[in-house]
Amino acid sequence: MGDVVLSIRDLHKIYPGGVHAVRGVSFDVSKGESVAVIGSSGSGKSTVLRCINRLIEPTEGAIELRGEQINTPGANVNEVRSRIGMVFQSFELFSHLKVLDNVTLGLRHVRGMSKSEAEAVALEVLERVDMLERSEAYPGNLSGGQKQRVAIARALAMKPEVILFDEPTSALDPELIGSVLETIRGLADEGMTMVIVTHEINFARDVADRIVYLDKGKVAEEGPSSIINQPKTERLQKFLSSMHEENV
Amino acid sequence: MNSASPGIERIFSWSSLDPKSRVVLLVSILLICSIPHSSGQETITGWNEAESWTENDLNAAVIHGEIVWVFGDFGTVRFSEDSGATWQNHTNLGDVHLISADSYENSMAVLSSDGIIYMKDSFESEWITIDSSQTGMKSIALAGEESLIIVGNEGAIWHYTGQTWWNRTTSFTENLHDVDFNGDEDGLAVGNGGTILATDNGGTTWDYREAPDPESSIVSVSYFNTYRMFAISNSGQIIYSTSPGGFEWQLREIESAGYNTTLATNLSSIDVVSSSRILFTGPDGYLGLSLDQGLNVERNILPVGVNPSFNDHAMFDYVVGIVVGDSGVILFTDRAGENEDIGFQIPDYNNFGEFVEYADEMLLAGFIATVKIVIFGIMFGFVIGVILAMLKTAPTSFKNLLERFSTSQIKGFGAICSVFALWLIYSGMSRFPELQLNGIEYIFTPVGDPRGFAMFGLGIAIFVISIQFIFADEKLTGPLFKIRPLNSLATVYTDFFRNTPLIVQFMFIHFGLRLGMRIQQVLEGTLGDPGIDGLDYFFYGDRTFLSAIFTLGLNSGAYQCETIRGAIAAIPTGQMEAWRSIGLTYMGTMRLVIMPQAIRICIPPIGNEMVNLVLNSSLAMVIGYSELSRQGKLMIATTFQIFSAWGLVMVSYFVVTWTLALLLRRLEEKTKIPGLGISGGA
């Protein structure tokens, strides 16, 4: 594999209530690689993801972006975040702004672009996610799939080094999932570095270069996407069969 | 909130109004502006205008029995049977100008400009024509039913008696203007060059009388009785004689004209209607009345739109009569034309109209004062509310603030603080022995040295805090470091203002802190003396105003803070996470994302707060600010109309709050975002 973009070393997170959600997770993400993080509810997937861009402060462990540790008190958290895009389960679009403004706001206020520059970039990424024709709509008037694609465009516009997806399709109706997954697949084909937390096992198998299976806050199994078909550990087998039953 | 958020437009804009509303708005403004200002000291005219049915100049008026006649140019004759209120046509007396008329018991005579005299015995009888064959005659007088005197240019006096004309012209040949008889023996004729001629034998012989001013042109004379003879010159002089036979004449020094001998206006005719009451007419719409034989002459107010040259009076008695003038003007009066005072009466405030006339200005002043503090109070309160809400939701704890310092720095700071605290405790305690209150059991004694107790207490507090600094570990886990100082500050503020009565806050801030006075002094120092009007005065001329807006703003801010905080809490945390994950700062996220949504959510409850603020502004009366309620109280102090005063005040408050509510409703509609929140409708 190529250069390591993101490296997670022995990550621990103990919530104030005493819940030990993450117990020593480590994995690397190389440039152009897409890593799918799977696991049952409460296994610490989302916590790991949020620790990466420091929405949650890890209790212990190191997170390195291009070899540089970013979870020290001295690190500029806003600068780090602007290099890591994130897409949320519930979209989190700004409902008082039009689609175009949702995308340009980060460019203008974080990157310091002028309005016209930002709009040029925004229109470009909106075209990539096939949302160009709805650029003047308010989020309230969009379907769930459209909202999620706008959220992806918003993350893309910042030209991040890595994008984190936090269960991007969980809040969508089954018939809307396809378009979002198609968009993510397109990004993977373009060589975007991604960490995807997902429940879509088939999607993970098709798109991800590597699978990380988390169970009870630890990495239970890790390997290429083929491990979905030939799981080595019993726990992953159980998890996959329960997912299969759900889907049936 | 910011330029990037769409949907916020101006609440009111002229261009968004449809033409109908614009017209309505403009017309209402015009109507309000055109309401005439009423003052309590007005006078109105004592004259009424009558319809004469002619545009010809009217030269003479005479009373014949119960009927009043007027005569004018082109043979115009009109008569009235009801003292001049309504007039009827009479056949013209030829195409001549009728210039003078007189009556004597049953006889009436009219002189025309070509010397023909028309006479009548009664209303029913025909006109009798007598030709004098003279031209340039000016005036006619009857000295008995069958005896006529006419006077005119170059001193001409002709006497018609016994069906024959006699020339009575004297050696004085100045032009004569007027002749008047008292009874059938005594008469006076006046003219240019101060000419006064008198007769005591019915006009057979005339004697010269010396005028006080030989230059004056005497245009009219009135022979009221043996002791009352008055005449006027055309330059406004009044001359009079009180000697029987009119041997001595004097020039009146007119008191109302500053003891001048002239009225400073041209005069054309005099009419003495009682032993003291004199009426004057003149060109340029002059009608005058003296109630004291010409000592004081007051100009009469004329009915609106009437301003002709007046020529003659005819009075039934000393109050009822008419005056005639050019262009067919006839005015009638039943008070001798005296101006009528309608002011200086004791107002009857039970009459709602009179109450309003007294109270409207006070009410308006109160209304403006209330609107003034409300506007500034709302702005101030909203700013404070937003700031407090941001402080309350700020996540910054002591831990965040101190993280950048090393542990040894924090420990060192703690050590310094603890030394300072110990010094405070020591010096505080050292003051106790002076009070003879040695021993710890006196610590709660409510007498003594408050400064000592304060130092002692503060020392203990600082010591407790500094100990936590000294024992801080690397992760700053102590309870002190979980405290969010901004939040605590805002909480103390809101708790204080929400748990004390507003009326006490008003009095504390105005009389206790004297905030208004201090601000005023600072502004005076930098901006200069506010004076008593203008923009300076508007902003800081009134120290109660300054205190009032600060109290209202501080108080309302505490309540608005909680409302806005609730709205911020209603925004999903994901919104903050999403924006932060893009890399914007906390404040940037608040400004660009959270507040624009939160403010929209809290418009209805904030509206509630603002309405409350308007109503609470009535409490500003306790510090003497003249807002609506105080004005209401003052109105009652004068008028005792409790129902009306408080009623009007209440309506005024309703107008303010209701307008505010409408504006907020409109703001809510204007800033509505599709898909945000449940609002009913599309």
Which CATH number belongs to the domain containing residue B276 in this structure?
2.130.10.10
Domains contained in chain B, number: 2
- The H or E element that residue B613 is part of is helix B603-616
Dist. CA A34–CA A1, nearest whole Å: 12
Which CATH number belongs to the domain containing residue A208 in this structure?
3.40.50.300
Residue B492 has pLDDT above 90, yes or no: yes
Are B85 and B139 contained in the same domain? yes
Specify the DSSP class assigned to residue A67.
T
Has residue B331 been placed in a domain? Answer: yes
- Which three-class secondary structure state does DSSP give residue A87? strand
B578 to chain A: closest CA residue = A92
Dist. CA B218–CA B209, nearest whole Å: 13
Dist. CA A72–CA B383, nearest whole Å: 37
Six-digit token string for B471: 């024992």
Q: Which of B340, B361, B382 is the last residue of a domain?
A: B340
Dist. CA B220–CA B310, nearest whole Å: 13
What is the span of the domain harbouring residue A145?
4-247
How many Cα atoms are found within 13 Å in the side-chain-facing hemisphere of B325?
23
Residues on chain A bordering chain B, Cβ-to-Cβ distance under 8 angstroms: 50, 53, 55, 73, 78-86, 88, 90, 92-98, 101, 105-106, 108-110, 138-141, 151, 154-155, 158
Structural contact between residues B391 and B384, judged by C-beta atoms closer than 8 angstroms: no
Q: How confident is the model at residue B678 (pLDDT cuts 50, 70, 90)?
A: low
Q: How confident is the model at residue A246 (pLDDT cuts 50, 70, 90)?
A: low
Q: Where in A16-59 does DSSP place strands (E)?
A: 20-30, 34-38
A55 to chain B: closest CA residue = B577
- Touching check for B673 and chain A: CB below 8 Å? yes
B673 to chain A: closest CA residue = A96
Mean pLDDT of B551-559: 94
What is the span of the domain harbouring residue B558?
372-396+484-602
Dist. CA B246–CA B224, nearest whole Å: 11
B674 to chain A: closest CA residue = A140
Has residue B380 been placed in a domain? Answer: yes
Has residue B221 been placed in a domain? Answer: yes
> So what's the pLDDT on residue B556?
94
Q: Interface pTM (ipTM) of the complex?
A: 0.84
Cβ A158–B582 below 8 Å, yes or no?
yes
**pLDDT tens digit sequence for B452-470:** 778 888 999 999 988 888 8
**pLDDT tens digit sequence for B300-315:** 888 877 888 888 888 8
Are B172 and B289 contained in the same domain? yes
pLDDT averaged over every residue in chain B: 85
Dist. CA B282–CA B262, nearest whole Å: 13
Q: Which of B602, B634, B659 is the last residue of a domain?
A: B602
Are B115 and B201 contained in the same domain? yes
Angular region, B189: left φ>0, alpha ψ -120 to 50, beta rest: beta
Q: What's the pTM? A: 0.61
For chain B, the first-to-last Cα distance in angstroms comes to 25
Six-digit token string for B17: 């109004």
Q: How would you classify the pairing of strands A210-215 and B228-233?
A: unpaired
Has residue B434 been placed in a domain? Answer: no
The position carrying tokens 């409302």 is B563
* Closest alpha carbon to A197 in A234, A170, A175: A170
Task: Enumerate the residues of chain A whose CB falls inside 8 A of the CB of residue B577.
Answer: 50, 55, 88, 92
Mean pLDDT of B628-654: 91
Q: How confident is the model at residue B345 (pLDDT cuts 50, 70, 90)?
A: low
- Biggest CA pair distance of chain A: 55
CB atoms within 10 A of CB B233: 26
C-alpha distance from B663 to closest chain A C-alpha (Å): 21
Dist. CA B467–CA B516, nearest whole Å: 42
Are B185 and B263 contained in the same domain? yes
Percentage of the residues of chain B whose pLDDT score is greater than 70: 92
Mutate to test the interface with B, among A57, A88, A96 (most CBs of B within 10 A): A96
C-alpha distance from B11 to closest chain A C-alpha (Å): 18
Residue A247 has pLDDT above 60, yes or no: no
Are B281 and B390 contained in the same domain? no
Residue B153 or B403, more confident: B153
> So what's the pLDDT on residue B682?
39
Dist. CA B535–CA B541, nearest whole Å: 9
Cβ A154–B582 below 8 Å, yes or no?
yes
pLDDT averaged over every residue in chain A: 87
Looking at residue B310, its amino acid is: F
**pLDDT tens digit sequence for A110-168:** 888 999 999 999 999 999 888 889 889 888 888 888 999 999 999 999 899 999 999 88
The position carrying tokens 């890593």 is A35
Mean pLDDT of B518-529: 86
The position carrying tokens 């602007």 is A82
Residue B3 has pLDDT above 70, yes or no: no
Domains contained in chain A, number: 1
Are B390 and B498 contained in the same domain? yes
Task: Enumerate the residues of chain B whose CB falls inside 8 A of the CB of residue A96.
Answer: 5-7, 596-597, 600, 673, 676
The position carrying tokens 């201090």 is B518
Are B270 and B380 contained in the same domain? no
* Closest alpha carbon to B144 in B201, B200, B101, B202: B202
Q: What letters, b where the CB count within 10 A reaches 16 and e where it falls short, cover B615-630?
A: ebbbbbbbbebbbbbb
Six-digit token string for B31: 């109507």
> So what's the pLDDT on residue B446?
58
Residue A111's Cα: distance from chain center in Å? 21
Please tell me chain B's helix, strand, coil percentages from 3-state DSSP, rounded to the nearest 5.
45, 20, 35
- Touching check for B585 and chain A: CB below 8 Å? yes
C-alpha distance from B585 to closest chain A C-alpha (Å): 7
- Which three-class secondary structure state does DSSP give residue B286? strand
Q: Which of B602, B619, B647 is the last residue of a domain?
A: B602
* Closest alpha carbon to B168 in B147, B151, B143: B151
> So what's the pLDDT on residue A170?
82
Has residue B570 been placed in a domain? Answer: yes
